[in-house]
Structure 1
Amino acid sequence: MAVANVAAGFTSLSFTSGAFSTSYMDVYSGLNGTGTLLGSVQLGSNPYAFAATSVTFSGVAQSFVLRGGSGQAGIDDVQITTVPEPETYGMMLAGLALVGVAARRKQRA
């Protein structure tokens, strides 16, 4: 079993995988594979040709767990969509406000 944590949270997970025996990728709402199981996918059984795979789930996850296969499974090219931090939204709103002020000043001139 292998666990990966993303403390900030993520909303999508895709990767390439291969396995010699039945293995699964599980996505959990908490760190270290705790909390609610949000989604799971069985990995392909061809260890010599890694296949593109994704886990479909709703909500925000904080960890994913590769289980089964007795150490005979692997993943690569992991891609996640992280949850933006609140500061990101604040900076975006401040930028939009500045653009609005600049446009308004330009109209008056």
Structure 2
Amino acid sequence: MKLKSLLAAGLMAAAAGGAWANDYTSPVLAMTGGPIDWTISFGTSHTDGLAFTDTYTFSYSGLPGTAQGFFANVASTAGDLNFNWADINGAPLPVMNIGAFSGSLYFATPVVGLLTLTIKGTDHGVGSYAGTLDVTSPVPEPATYGMLLGGLALMGALARRRKS
């Protein structure tokens, strides 16, 4: 009797906790490009009809910048995906599920350092999605370089004056 109770409790806890989800966690993926614009493609498939949490980790130069990109799924006769949540480093991204289309399109999301993209959803049959992520770091304006050179010239003039 005690064994039946333990088995039933274990099955209920596993079902409630989502232990059967088909989660995907990528290794750290290096973005290509640089030094101002970095990019990478990503995606995966799900086939078991359960909730999923996919986690992608990307590395780039680490300078502060903005992220933009998308990920999408189009339903087929084999199945579909619905997205419930997405974020980059904790900053929420918009997700939409409209008819046979599910996805996210995002712009100007501030990022710095190692990036973690998390996507949560549910698959209905066999479904897959793909997307791209771009990170753009700002380029100093020409006036910034002019101020830098002007400051260096001023420092040189002061150093020369002290020598005399």
TM-score by length of 2: 0.34
Higher Cα Rg, which structure: 2
Of structures 1 and 2, the one scoring higher in RCO (CA 8 A, sep 6+) is 1
Name the structure where helix makes up a greater proportion of residues: 1
